[in-house]
Amino acid sequence: MAWERIRKDTNPRVAPNLADYAQARRAFSWQRARAELSGLPGRGGLNIAYEAVDRHIAAGNGRHTALRCIARDGTVTGVSYAGLALDTARFANILRSLGVNRGDRVFTLLGRCPELYTTVLGTLKNTSVLCPLFSAFGPDPVRQRLRLGNARVLVTTEALYRRKVADRRDQLPELEHVLFVGPVTEPLPDTVSFAELMQAASDDFTIPPTDPQDMALLHFTSGTTGTPKGAVHVHEAVVAHHATAAFALDLHPEDIYWCTADPGWVTGMSYGVIAPLTHGVTVVVDEGDYDARRWYQILAEERVSVWYTAPTAVRMLMRGTARHASTDLPQEYDLSALRFIASVGEPLNPEAVLWGQEALGLPIHDNWWQTETGCIMIANFAGTEIRPGAMGRPLPGVEAAVLERGEDGRALVTGGRVTVLHHPDAEGELALRPGWPSMFRGYLHDKVRYDAAFADGWYLTGDVARQDADGWFWFVGRADDVIKSAGHLIGPFEVESALMEHPAVAEAGVIGRPDPVAGAIVKAFVSLKPGHDPSEALERELLAFSRRRLGPAVAPREIAFDQNLPKTRSGKVMRRLLRARELGLPEGDISTLEGSA
Ligand code: AMP
């Protein structure tokens, strides 16, 4: 079905930062974007935390509200930019006094709370490296990432620590300091209270000279095989965070901005913490979980003007509640402050774009990017036409292309060369020309996988897309086996490995099964070891077993028993075939299937 385009708003409440696409692309350069930022005083380089916090104080805006933190019980605490500067200075001093230095890794395992902001920005002030973890991860993914990322410091809560780290702390010899945010019921060995340290710390801290190429952030992401990959980002990334938030989120300094992403993922960091603060806006931080009424109430009471959310959340709002149609409920709230809505992370179906228009009075602007790109690459903009269902067009400073694919589904590289598909609507692997400041600089300790992400001067995204005749990019699917469930990227290998630790499981193959709300849910096919038989009880046990280890966001929701998992001759489970069979799709090339002629 062809969806009507939504024409550009000819009477916007605020003049959009990007009104003329072609002109904006012509006029843009990353050097000019860099000049929008201050840099550390005395030519001390470029530090993300200075751009996000301290420079606003130098400009006389210290009293402006930086954060409006809403606790689970609804209590609201405001933090000014000046207050945030002092808190982050204190945290930087804590790290310094603990002997935590430039490049050392500080991990967070926290929800959306004020201490998260203090930790992230204080760590960056100290030129240490911040690595956020998703608090819904179970003990296995948490411990694996702490180990792979060489965590020296972990900032978390007592409850999360007890559930996910404590019993195998001895397996993390590099982890020296654990700081507890919030109340501590019973002191544990080798842990310390965040609040007590903060109280004792000085709020006088001078950010040391910071090379823009110094490592600043580490974000774990998943591939098809192997351990999670730690994407390395540097302080220079802030140039891209700032510029793209102006173009794709249309941020203006007077905005009240709410990003619903979890801080354990890249969106929650780039656009939940850094980018909005560099614009000096007020950021709404909600500690609570999704709840339709709570969300509308926050939009209304906080007078949110710019809202960045995710397709799964939009689809949940679209379902309405038991007593309300999805278009009635928002009518109960005053959403008149809202002027721009964007979403990211998974395909945004055209119905969702138009539901926004109908129910909230504004269309939803889809945009596309990934952990490795560090910032938004492709977007529908506030000041231009929207094509419902399309991801949008490349941002100024970004060159994107569609590359011809080979049999493995990835870009075809012949003699080191790739082929750019120029004809409209040709499907191929989405690729980007490296060179923007928030481009990842490596996968930690894994040069081989980093090098494999590039060919012939292009970064290969792993996504399949097409570009229409007017330059809009449309998402087609993934070129590999990773699963996007409720916006979270899940590596099938991590799930399979956990299942195979159960004594009954011989082998496992994990796929994403399409789901109308979450995009996909994780489904596992398992074969059993001799002496074990399929049963409902075993199914329940495997579901619970993987949930305990992986956490609810990653664990399979469905398990199917199959003693004849399709495998290649070299013995690898063929997820592609499992998926095709599950969906009733053609099985495609099965010449590598074990037992085939
Ligand atoms: P992550 O690195 O966890 O942020 O996940 C990045 C992946 O999410 C991309 O490679 C896409 O597969 C998917 N993704 C992100 N944004 C979109 C979008 N607007 N439409 C479709 N898929 C998206």
The CATH code of the domain that includes 321 is 3.40.50.12780
Tell whether 53 and 185 lie within a shared domain.
yes
Q: Are residues 325 and 449 in the same domain?
A: no
* Domain presence at residue 413: yes
pLDDT digits (tens, 9 = 90+) for 417-439: 999 999 999 999 999 999 999 99
Task: Determine the residue of 375, 476, 484, 488 to mutate for testing ligand 1's pocket, defined as the one with the most ligand atoms within 8 A of the Cβ atom.
Answer: 484
Condensed to tens digits (0 to 9), the pLDDT of residues 334-385 reads 999 999 999 999 999 999 999 999 999 999 999 999 999 999 999 999 999 9
| One domain for residues 494 and 411 | no
* Gap from CA of 370 to ligand 1 centroid (Å): 6
Of the three residues 431, 464, 479, the one that is the final residue of a domain is 479
* Distance from C-alpha of 266 to C-alpha of 132, rounded to nearest angstrom: 8
pLDDT band at 62 (very low <50, low <70, confident <90, very high): very high
In this structure, the number of other CB atoms found within 10 A of the CB of residue 597 comes to 4
Best of 265, 369, 443 to mutate for ligand 1, by most ligand atoms within 8 A of CB? 369
Instruction: Supply the pTM of this predicted model.
Output: 0.96
157 alpha carbon – ligand 1 mean position (Å): 29
Determine, yes or no, domain membership for 104. Answer: yes
109 Cβ neighbours under 8 A, 6+ residues apart = 133, 135, 137, 142, 154, 155, 156, 157, 160, 161, 164, 165, 264
Residue ID of nearest Cα to ligand 1 atom 4: 370
Phi and psi, residue 44, nearest 5°? -80, 10
Do 492 and 468 share a structural domain?
Answer: no
Q: In terms of pLDDT, which residue wins out, 594 or 320?
A: 320
Average pLDDT across the chain, whole number = 95
Residue 545 belongs to a domain with what CATH number? 3.30.300.30
**CB atoms near residue 168 (< 10 Å):** 12
Task: State the CATH number of the domain containing residue 467.
Answer: 2.30.38.10
d(CA 341, CA 563): 48
**228 and 82 assigned to the same domain:** yes
Q: Among the three residues 463, 479, 495, which one is the final residue of a domain in this structure?
A: 479
Any atom of ligand 1 within 6 Å of the Cβ of 346? yes
Are 39 and 96 within one domain?
yes
Q: Is residue 418 part of a domain?
A: yes
* Mutation pick for ligand 1 pocket among 348, 376, 489, 494 (CB with most ligand atoms within 8 Å): 489
| Residue 85 sits in the same domain as residue 231 | yes
Half-sphere exposure of 88 (CA within 13 A, CB side): 30
Q: How far apart are CA 253 and CA 246, in angstroms?
A: 10
Q: Which residues contact 276 (CB under 8 A, 6 or more apart)?
A: 245, 251, 255, 257, 259, 283
Check whether 594 has a pLDDT greater than 90.
Answer: no
Instruction: Indicate whether 205 pLDDT > 60.
Output: yes
Confirm whether 3 is domain-assigned.
Answer: no
Of 270, 248, 343, 328, nearest to 296 by C-alpha is 328
**491/465 same-domain check:** no
* pLDDT category of residue 212 using cuts at 50, 70 and 90: very high
Residue 155 lies in a domain: yes
In this structure, the residue with its CA closest to atom 23 of ligand 1 is: 346
Residue with tokens 């843009």: 28
Q: Is residue 355 part of a domain?
A: no
Cα separations in angstroms, 212 against 51, 436, 491, 578:
12, 13, 31, 45
Return the pLDDT at 112.
96
Contact between 112 and 262 (Cβ < 8 Å) = yes
Are residues 450 and 460 in contact, defined by beta-carbon separation less than 8 angstroms?
no
Q: Quote the crossing angle between the two packed helices 292-301 and 311-318, to the nearest 10°.
A: 110
**What are the Cα distances from residue 186, in Å, to 167, 183, 396, 411?**
15, 9, 53, 54
> From the CB of 366, is ligand 1 less than 6 Å away?
yes
The answer to whether residues 495 and 571 belong to one domain is yes
Q: Which atom of ligand 1 is nearest to the CA of 343?
A: 19
Atom of ligand 1 nearest to the CA of 488: 3
Domain range enclosing 578: 483-583
Can you tell me which atom of ligand 1 is nearest the CA of 378? 19
Q: Is residue 41 part of a domain?
A: yes
pLDDT of residue 520: 96
64-114 pLDDT, tens per residue?
Answer: 999 999 999 999 999 999 999 999 999 999 999 999 999 999 999 999 999
> 454 with 523, same domain?
no
444/501 same-domain check: no
Residue 461 beta carbon below 6 angstroms from any ligand 1 atom = yes
Distances in Å between the Cα of 137 and the Cα atoms of 108, 165, 264 are 12, 11, 9
Burial 19-39 (b: 16+ CB within 10 A, else e): eebeebbeebebeebbeebbb
- The label of the residue with tokens 């179906």 reads 349
CA neighbor of 305 nearest in space, from 261, 273, 337, 260: 337
- CA of residue 110 to ligand 1 center, whole Å: 23
Domain count, the chain: 3
Residues 157 and 47 in one domain: yes
Q: Is 376 in the pocket of ligand 1 (CB under 6 A)?
A: no
pLDDT at 2: 63
Q: Is residue 422 part of a domain?
A: yes
pLDDT band at residue 128 under the 50/70/90 scheme: very high
221 lines ligand 1 (CB under 6 A): yes
Which segments within 422-472 are labelled E, that is strand?
427-432, 442-443, 454-455, 458-467
Residue 471 CB less than 6 A away from ligand 1: no
Distance 367 CA to ligand 1 centre (A): 9
The response to whether residue 370 sits with its C-beta less than 6 Å from ligand 1 reads yes
State in Å: Cα 344 to ligand 1 middle. 7
Residue from 370, 459, 482 whose mutation best tests the ligand 1 pocket (most atoms within 8 A of CB) = 370
Of the residues 307, 325, 343, the one at which a domain ends: 343
How does DSSP classify residue 28? -
